[in-house]
Amino acid sequence: MRYIKAAVRKPDGEFYPRALADSVHLYYSRDSVNWEPLNQHYGILFAKAAVRQDNTLEPRSLRAPALFAGRDGYSVTAECVDEEGNPVGDGKVLLWTTKDFLSFEDHGLTDRPPEAGAAVLEIPDDIGDRLYRVWTPVHAVAVRCPEEVEAASWEEVERTEAEVLYSDGTADRKRVCWDRGSAAFEGGVWRVRGAVEQPAYPFPLAEGYADPVLFFWDGAWYYIATDDNRDAVGIRVRKAQSVAGLFAPDVREYCILDRDEEKGFIQLFWAPEFHVIGKDVYLLFTVSGQAWSPQSHMMRLKRGGSIIRREDWEEPVRVKRMDGTPLAEEGITLDMTYFRAGGKPYLVWSYRFGIGTEKDTGSMLYIAAADERTPWVLASEPVLLSRPLYAWENQGGTINNEGPYALVLEDRIYLAYSGGAAYGWSYAAGFLMADTEDDLLDAGSWRKTPAPVMSHYSVEGIYGPGHNSFFRDEAGKIYVAHHACRKDGRGGRCTAIRRVHLNAEGFPAMNLSAERDLPEELRGVSVRVRFTEDSKEE
């Protein structure tokens, strides 16, 4: 048998405030004596805020979690409390049910179970081993390479790849840089050595740049981001022949949109994103006039135009609803993104009303159908997808669901979004998930991860990770780009990049550091090469 227990954590100041600590943390053991925290000791289940009649949120947290084993699975309960720690619910408790401690059904406040919950539960080996694999960071354990290959040329040898094996039983094929100079002739075959390739991007990559997006178009790479170094005024683009080249010391930046008082583009040039919509390249971005009111805009690249030439872009337009009215008459709209799923185009953005007042709703995610011919006009009415109900989404006075960006994998969509304080340590990212063939304009088709999939616990030295995007490199590997801060706060918000690993459940793991992906001691490999008779190699 394996063992699991639940508890809340002691707060740790700014690093792990009470709103995070007062959540369900799970611990795992093989002997009921030695315990290991799951999810890198970050909360797994959080209480949901209540929505008041005026559409504002009343934060909630929890205490005294308990575990139950039943005929059809397991349950977790906890007492619900308000911000002052006062009980909520007239004796009711928060209830989650689960079959495997991987996915949970949230039942909200329900009657207290008649039986007493357990501090520790015994669980079968298979359930325990599976949840341990999922809730602990995956890491490379071995590298497998062919012992011998038959080749007609050294170019063919150089195409030989290695397979990196991971702690959860998954594997990833990687290229090898074979050292032809190491080749030695032994017993009729050549022995050649090499090093497994794993692009590693040091943090920070670009200081003072937030909301990063990498975009491959027409044979070149482009990088675009919110420019905190210029107080978020203007949109500038980098171009290079490789991802690494985008962050070279001498890389040039091209301004494609700047402050323009006549057009009302004064401040808050936020969250620019490149997308191919239909057959055209678009820039989606947020901008505000003199009065603080950021709103979503788009501009289209002229056919045959160059991304880095300002004159090759059409005039920006503000995004509108179906009836031609502005996307929001009141409040702010920002962080708009685009994706296709199930053969249909969609737009997702963040909306907030009453910011800085008692009527602050917090930022909320909305979705609408898009028309690829005129994507700046919604093709359906907006649908509310998500609000910042969990405590991890409501931190540092920032009530956030923002920065959406989609990762579509075969028949499943993972819509990443960020919550918490965008400039603080507690900033984090979660997923909204749905099947691509479902009705994505039905909020009921989507399921939210109860805990963030990327937090300041995910990778050592990277604090407040969030507002991410995804891209695939030339080898088809999935990468996440996001902004984060150093622990000492130097450099402000900075760009970070690392590989996304699909774990044993097929779930995109966002906490794979370069060291866990492929440690230096596993990179060295060798192979015996037997050249075919018609080979001209000597």
Domain boundary residue, one of 106, 135, 164? 135
Phi and psi at residue 308, to the nearest 5°: -90, 0
Cα separation, 480 vs 498, in Å, equals 6
Specify whether 329 is located in the same domain as 461: yes
Cβ atoms of residues 431 and 452 within 8 Å: no
In a domain, 454, yes or no: yes
Specify whether 67 is located in the same domain as 127: yes
Specify whether 317 is located in the same domain as 408: yes
* CATH code of the domain containing 362: 2.115.10.20
Which amino acid is it at 333?
Answer: T
Specify whether 112 is located in the same domain as 169: no
pLDDT per position as a tens digit, 472-495 = 998 899 999 999 999 887 889 999
Cα separation, 405 vs 335, in Å, equals 9
Nearest to 448 by CA among 479, 417, 426: 417
Tokens 């018609």: give the residue: 534
Which amino acid is it at 56?
Answer: T
Specify whether 219 is located in the same domain as 335: yes
pLDDT per position as a tens digit, 359-391 = 999 999 999 999 999 999 999 999 999 999 999
Cα separation, 431 vs 138, in Å, equals 19
Distances (CA, A) of 156 to 135, 530, 533, 537: 40, 11, 15, 11
Domain boundary residue, one of 135, 158, 189? 135
Pair of tokens at residue 335: 């962080």
The whole-model pTM stands at: 0.96
Specify whether 327 is located in the same domain as 472: yes
Query: Residue 488 has what pLDDT?
Result: 80
In a domain, 416, yes or no: yes
Specify whether 39 is located in the same domain as 149: no
The band of 535, judged by pLDDT with boundaries at 50, 70 and 90, is low
Query: Residue 202 has what pLDDT?
Result: 94
Cβ atoms of residues 370 and 378 within 8 Å: yes
pLDDT per position as a tens digit, 423-437 = 888 899 999 999 999
In a domain, 297, yes or no: yes
Question: Per the structure, how many domains does the chain have?
Answer: 3
Nearest to 419 by CA among 453, 470, 446: 453
Specify whether 21 is located in the same domain as 89: yes
pLDDT at 316 over 90: yes
pLDDT per position as a tens digit, 215-269 = 999 999 999 999 999 999 999 999 999 999 999 999 999 999 999 999 999 999 9
Query: Residue 537 has what pLDDT?
Result: 46
In a domain, 538, yes or no: no
pLDDT per position as a tens digit, 325-361 = 999 989 999 999 999 999 999 999 999 999 989 999 9
The band of 444, judged by pLDDT with boundaries at 50, 70 and 90, is very high
- Expressed as residue numbers, the domain containing 472 is 209-517
Distances (CA, A) of 50 to 78, 346, 387, 388, 479: 16, 29, 11, 10, 36
Residues 6+ apart with CB under 8 A from 163: 143, 144, 145, 171, 172, 173, 174
pLDDT at 465 over 80: yes
Which uninterrupted H or E stretch holds 341?
Answer: strand 332-341
Nearest to 102 by CA among 526, 465, 451: 451
Cα separation, 417 vs 334, in Å, equals 13
In a domain, 536, yes or no: no
Specify whether 113 is located in the same domain as 163: no
In a domain, 537, yes or no: no
In a domain, 203, yes or no: no
Angle at 504 between CA 503 and CA 510, to 5 degrees: 15
In a domain, 103, yes or no: yes
Specify whether 129 is located in the same domain as 156: no
Specify whether 497 is located in the same domain as 365: yes
Cβ atoms of residues 108 and 97 within 8 Å: no
Longest dimension (CA), the chain: 84
Specify whether 278 is located in the same domain as 406: yes
